[in-house]
Structure 1
Amino acid sequence: MNRTNAALLACLAAVPHADVGAATSATAATQALHCERLFDSRSGRVLGEHTVLVRDGKIVDVLPGRAKLAEGTGSTVLAGRTCLPGWTDLHVHLGGQSSPQSYSEGFRLDDIDFAYRSVGYAEKTLLAGFTSVRDLGGDVAPHLRDAINQGLVRGPRIFAAGKSIATTGGHADPTNGYNSELSHLLGPPGPTEGVINSIDDARQAVRQRYKDGSDVIKITATGGVLSYAKSGDAPQFTVDEVRAIVDTANDYGYKVAAHAHGTEGMKRAVLGGVTSIEHGTYMSDEVMSLMKQKGTWYVPTIYAGRFVADKAKVDGYFPEIVRPKAARIGAQIQDTAAKAYRSGVKIAFGTDMGVGPHGDNAREFIYMVEAGMPAATALQAATIRAAEVLGVDDQGEIAAGKRADIIAVPGDPVADIGNVMAVDFVMKDGVVYKQP
């Protein structure tokens, strides 16, 4: 943690302070946004012309038509554009980004290198229209969150998991792939490092995440695609271990997200009470039924699946132990998302960005629509539904009293989902970061 703090301090020293100050300076004056169209995330309908009034980082009123403004009110005219609530990506990793060098970089680079990179990744994500993210695994994220909240760097609002919780040899065991000499030197990781093997370990690991300043708990309920291990779908927790994590998380007001590809691991995670299943590649009818029964959310991350399946075709992009998992599992996720949507499972938006390039997050909308989800439903998944997953009631819609997180795209994204790739206005907490 000390190394990460030092890394972020070094990053901040390199930030052009004049630019950041301009973006983060608050004003008590009322601002008006004239939107040619407005997406109502509760109904999923695109409404006609509206004027949105913003003051002190909050939406104070939403008026139909081109409202007459009081003297001194600043205004921005978003002609030809649709205003939407700022999007939320419920599954990102801002501390890194996939490349053929990713595995060796873990040994060659220092925390400071990853921290420098995270600052740029955060800004790209914000400028793509994502005013909030849930970072599901990475030591940099809680500190990056704090720097953004303090106005030191630009980025989305971060709900940070910190270190994911795994079992020995599981997807988030940080020593996977180490040789015997290095493993012996470092010793087996334990709950402090997020690796558990018992109910008591499970409780300790959650409490450590609380101590580290996490906002949410992430577990790796099955093997993973990109970890240096053979299985991508074997279950890796008992139901009792999951339940101990969830119960302890509830003590601290945390929700629990479960990375899961295999059917049995998903089933155990749902029975254990997790809030969401991430990826869900081999989700069975039984698991879908359990999820509907218990109200468990599904975050498909179709983008990541398609990205790794594509890169598995490239010689040398992944280690050979990873390549067959990427080809097999990655290609399946979009079909699973389609089946889950038809079945009535609750779906929210997430990309697993960091697997693919940060800033390209909105492409997930296009893949969701390809899977059979109506465009309006896909947009709701990243707005009002994402807020439900997070357990917050101050974002996810353009309405009086909510955070002034507002973005705009040319045209009508419900009529043409491709418009999501052209975000040209971004406001977060009443501060404009991008405009036509």
Structure 2
Amino acid sequence: MTTTAITHARVFDGDRVREESTVVLDGPVITAVGGAVPEGAAVVDARGGTLLPGLFDAHTHTSEEALAFALRFGVTTELEMQGALTRTRRAHIEQNDAVADVRSAGFGITPPGGHPSELFPKGKRPGGDGEPAPEHSGGLVMPFATTPQEAAGFIPRLVESGSDYIKFMVDDGTVEGHPGLPCLDQATLNAGVAEAHRHGMLTVAHALTLDAARMAVEAGIDGLVHVFMDRPHTDEIIRLIAESGTFVVPCVVLNASMMGITGAAFADDERVTARLDGPWLTTLRGSFDRYPQGRLEDVLATVAALHEAGVDLLAGSDASVPVPFLGGVAHGASVHHEMQYLVRAGLTPADALRAATATPARRFSLDDRGRIAAGLRADLLLVDGDPTTDIHRTLDIRAVWRRGARFGAE
């Protein structure tokens, strides 16, 4: 592959703006930050722009088609929080530079009939409607557990089937408008998390209520992949999360959607409209609208308190499939919207950029990406202007590279 030198760029390396303004790529790897342009290199003049690490979406449910939309927006890695793209099922994606890369939890541990079964049509709910819970589906483990022994027993099977991390559903359906769903109890959650840690696996929890978040943190969870939305935060829960070292993927865009706030105004931005098709634009303009009594101001205040307490925040969208009732979010686009929400909550633009680059790479141990440094993957996003002072400039996309391959190049 041709050596490429990106010159005259403002370089945000995932942590800070660097003095150097040249970044050299050789094939899929960054070979130098600063220094002279190598003889014979193809030169990309980035004058007036900012070079960023490729972005992460730290909470999705994805597909190859969705990963293609993600890459259009400079999202070079998606972290799937329930789905099929586990380690043993994605070789075709890892080698395809026309789509974002992906890591996956596989399926999350939940009781039979527990979340997310309520999202499926009646009669098609895995483990719901009185049907037996299948243990495997197309080679994927379907981990329905009601006891500590069952939860612990699923861990080695999830590891063997290719899960990159282990997810637990802690949800009684209150926020989704289905109160009374079966929910993991504390003992079952504790046993599953402990067994996952014994296998060296990172653990994450779906938790939309304050009590569920407390359960997960008390179980020793590594990350919360939602921020609770049923009530304002308390000093006690913020302290508990901060002292535990737990990271949080707030998914403010999802919470807003749950409250009936659509993504219509964001979708009308021509920088968004130009990169999405009709079904995704329709979805983005919709909303979940399951919890209209929620208050977005409370969620933003919780995010601010977590940030002030030093909790690692990661940018995620919870984008899934293009259907209006799962609306308000879209692959790729909603990472930019989430960064805007993080800034609205009180983070600086640089903080929000870290939440979409270096922080998810570090917390998910993806040490080959998320930063601009020699020896790392050449996953890069070039935008016009300075998003370290104006987060809205992340949508002014000039170029995207995935493993050194420029997206859309002939």
Q: TM above 0.5, one fold?
A: yes
**Counterpart in the other structure of 2:215:** 268
Counterpart pick for 1:306 among 256, 260, 263: 256
Q: Where does the alignment leave 5 or more consecutive residues of structure 1 unmatched?
A: 1-26, 95-117
Aligned twin of 1:158:
102
| 1:206 and 2:155 aligned | yes
Equivalent pair of 1:260/1:278 in contact (CA under 8 Å): yes
Distance (whole Å) between structure 2 residues aligned to residue 177 and residue 276 of structure 1 = 30
Distance 1:190 1:50, change over 3 A: same
Q: Distance in 1 between matches of 2:375 and 2:58?
A: 23
Q: What percent of counterpart residues are identical?
A: 27
One-letter code aligned to 2:394: V
- Among 370, 375, 395, which residue is 2:369 paired with? 395
Equivalent-residue separation in structure 1 for 2:83 and 2:217 (angstroms): 24
**SS of residue paired to 1:325:** coil
Contact 2:5/2:38, CA 8 A, preserved across alignment: no
The match for 1:407 is 381
What residue in structure 2 maps to residue 133 of structure 1? 78
1:175, CA displacement in angstroms? 8.7
Change (3 A) 1:35 1:168: farther
Whether the 8 Å CA contact 2:122–2:129 is kept in 1: the answer is: no
| Deviations 1:247-270, CA, capped at 9 Å, x for gaps | 322344321111111222211211
Measured in 1, the distance between the counterparts of 2:376 and 2:123 equals: 52
d(CA) in 2 for partners of 1:180, 1:415? 48
Where does residue 106 of structure 1 map in the other structure?
Answer: none
Amino acid in structure 1 at the alignment position of 2:194: D
Partners of 1:175 and 1:358 lie apart in 2 by 19
Give the aligned partner of residue 238 of structure 1: 185
- Contact 1:58/1:403 (<8 A) preserved: yes
Alpha-carbon separation, structure 2, partners of 1:311 and 1:369 = 18
Q: CA deviation at 1:76?
A: 1.5
**In the alignment, what sits opposite 1:353?**
319
Q: CA deviation at 1:166?
A: 1.0
1:215 paired residue number: 164
Check conservation: 2:204, 2:222, Cα contact below 8 A: yes
Q: Deviations over 1:159-190 (max 9, x none)?
A: 11111211233213479763699966732456
Shifted more, 398-407 versus 324-333: the winner is: 324-333
- Determine the C-alpha separation between the residues in 2 that align with 1:120 and 1:217: 24
Q: Distance in 1 between matches of 2:350 and 2:27?
A: 29
> Which residue in 2 is equivalent to 1:40?
13
Residue 350 of structure 2 is aligned with which of 371, 376, 386?
376
Counterpart contact for 1:41–1:383, Cα < 8 Å: yes
Task: State the secondary structure of the residue aligned to 2:369.
Answer: coil
SS at match of 1:287: helix
Q: Give 4+ residue runs of structure 1 displaced > 6 Å after superposition.
A: 174-177
- 2:308 is the counterpart of 1:342: yes
Q: CA deviation at 1:53?
A: 1.2
Structure 2 residue 72 is the aligned partner of structure 1 residue 122: no
Number of aligned residue pairs: give it: 372
Among 152, 167, 175, the residue aligned to 2:111: 167
Deviation at 1:403, TM superposition (A): 1.4
Q: Cα distance 1:289–1:119, how it changes in 2: closer, same or farther (>3 A)?
A: same
Report deviation, 1:90.
0.8
Amino acid corresponding to residue 211 of structure 2 in structure 1: E
Aligned residues of 1:136 and 1:161 also touching (Cα < 8 A): yes
Structure 1 residues 78 and 328: CA distance shift in structure 2, 3 A? same
Provide the C-alpha distance between the structure 1 equivalents of 2:254 and 2:124, rounded to a whole number of angstroms: 31
Match of 1:22 in 2: none
Aligned positions of 1:178-189 closer than 5 A: 178=122, 186-188=131-133
Q: Structure 2 CA distance, aligned partners of 1:262 and 1:367? A: 20
Query: What is the distance in 2 between the residues matched to 1:226 and 1:211?
Result: 33
Report the 3-state secondary structure (helix = DSSP H, G, I; strand = E; otherwise coil) of the residue aligned with 1:352: coil
Please state whether the residue corresponding to 1:349 is helix, strand or coil. coil
1:260 and 1:241, CA in 2 relative to 1: closer, same or farther beyond 3 A?
Answer: same
The Cα of 1:414 is off from its aligned counterpart by: 1.4
Change in Cα spacing, 1:267 to 1:431, as seen in structure 2 (3 Å) is: same
CA distance in 2 between counterparts of 1:181 and 1:236 reads 16
Give the partner amino acid of 1:166: T
More helix by share: 1
Query: How far is 1:141 from its partner?
Result: 5.9
Task: Tell me the distance in 2 between the aligned counterparts of 1:259 and 1:193.
Answer: 16
In 2, Cα distance between equivalents of 1:425 and 1:313: 25
Of the three residues 378, 403, 406, the one matched with 1:429 is 403
Contact 1:366–1:418 (Cα < 8 Å) also in 2: yes
* CA–CA distance in structure 1, aligned partners of residues 373 and 174 of structure 2: 40
2:226 partner amino acid: H
